[in-house]
């Protein structure tokens, strides 16, 4: 039990140390950081991000975040750069070099080569008095006082801060561009997230049957129609073909509990009035939210007062947005 308590304490201390480091680095966001954002916004080329060791892994993550939020970015490993990958750099590019110490040998070799190609260099460093800070065109200060490990050796706090500062850079660029959820969807077409952003009810409901029954139709005939359409429900309309209700399996059970003889009953007498609907053209995620809010399994898709389709919870499950 004592060991378990120590483990919990170590984990909590690690998280608190890293959280404090991220909080502290906010003090280094200044006019210089703002100038870097503006330079990237107005660049004609691409943003290339490089690093070595754990900083290279962070660089990959920042590249992924930037690409998905509208800033074209490329990862270049610092070690590979001096063995041929420098060819990807063009004179109108910006190269972001991530290095905790700012004195790594590979980075010290790389910086003069980048500048010789005419590209601008942005340094992200944890040490202001370092080679990168002195030779870069711009500097992002990702300052940390110590790593989270007791030996102050393993890149932990420093890489957390680097990623957080990278996120801050990406969000500044995103908001400056007016990047919207629709823009985000363009870069995330796959998976549940992408579908939530672009999938509409129109993409789903035409595949389903469309049981529509006049409100004066007898229950017996109505049940046969519902059974044939296999949706477990039907939209009920009036003389003007306007939606007035819905009849579901639940309505059927309630009817059987109240009536021994339903041979003369019309569907309008036992339907549920004012059913929940979703407008044609709405996003499927909104349909899902309505089903969850009202604890129902289907929605009638309408265009004004006219019934155009049915949407069932199973459709949304099959599409993978649930």
Any idea what DSSP says for residue 281? Answer: T
Please indicate if the annotation marks 77 as binding a ligand. yes
How far, in Å, CA of 164 to CA of 22, rounded? 7
b/e 184-199 (16+ beta carbons within 10 angstroms → b): bbeebeeeeebbbbbb
> What strand order describes the sheet that includes 272-273?
212-214, 233-237, 243-248, 272-273
DSSP letter for each residue of 200-213? BGGGTGGGS---EE
SS3 322: coil
Helix (H) or strand (E) holding 56, with range, is helix 54-68
Ramachandran angles phi, psi of 69, nearest 5°? -120, 20
Tokens matching residue 166: 């990278």
Tokens matching residue 115: 């500048």
116 burial (CB, 10 Å; 0-12 / 13-18 / 19+) is exposed
Q: What angle do CA 293, 207, 188 make, to 5 degrees?
A: 65
Q: Are 265 and 218 in contact (CB under 8 A)?
A: yes
How far, in Å, CA of 258 to CA of 270, rounded? 10
Binding-site members for Zn(2+) are: 77
């Amino acid at each position: 039990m004592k060991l378990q308590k120590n483990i919990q304490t170590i984990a909590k201390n690690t998280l608190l140390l890293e959280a404090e480091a991220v909080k502290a680095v906010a003090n280094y966001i200044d006019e210089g950081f703002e100038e870097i954002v503006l330079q990237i916004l107005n660049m004609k080329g691409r943003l290339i991000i490089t690093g070595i060791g754990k900083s290279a892994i962070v660089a990959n993550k920042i590249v992924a975040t930037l690409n998905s939020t509208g800033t074209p970015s490329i990862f270049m490993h610092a070690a590979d750069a001096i063995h041929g990958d420098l060819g990807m750099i063009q004179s109108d590019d910006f190269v972001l070099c991530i290095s905790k110490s700012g004195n790594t040998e590979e980075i010290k070799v790389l910086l003069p080569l980048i500048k010789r190609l005419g590209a601008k260099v942005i340094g992200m460093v944890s040490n202001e008095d370092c080679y990168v800070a002195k030779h870069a065109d711009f500097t992002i200060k990702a300052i940390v006082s110590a790593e989270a490990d007791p030996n102050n050796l393993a890149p932990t706090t420093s890489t957390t801060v680097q990623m957080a500062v990278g996120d801050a850079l990406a969000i500044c660029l995103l908001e400056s561009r007016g990047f919207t959820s629709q823009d985000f969807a363009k870069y995330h077409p796959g998976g549940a997230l992408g579908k939530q952003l672009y999938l509409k009810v129109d993409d789903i409901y035409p595949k389903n049957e469309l049981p529509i029954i006049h409100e004066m139709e007898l229950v017996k005939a109505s049940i046969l129609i519902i059974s044939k359409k296999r949706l477990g429900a039907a939209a009920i309309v009036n003389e003007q073909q306007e939606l007035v209700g819905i009849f579901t399996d639940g309505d059927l059970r309630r009817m059987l509990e109240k009536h021994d003889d339903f041979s003369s009953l019309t569907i309008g007498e036992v339907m549920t009035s004012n059913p929940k609907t979703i407008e044609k053209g709405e996003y499927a995620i909104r349909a899902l939210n309505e089903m969850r809010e009202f604890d129902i399994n289907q929605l009638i898709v309408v265009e004004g007062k006219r019934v155009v389709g049915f949407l069932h919870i199973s459709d949304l499950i099959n599409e993978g947005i649930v």
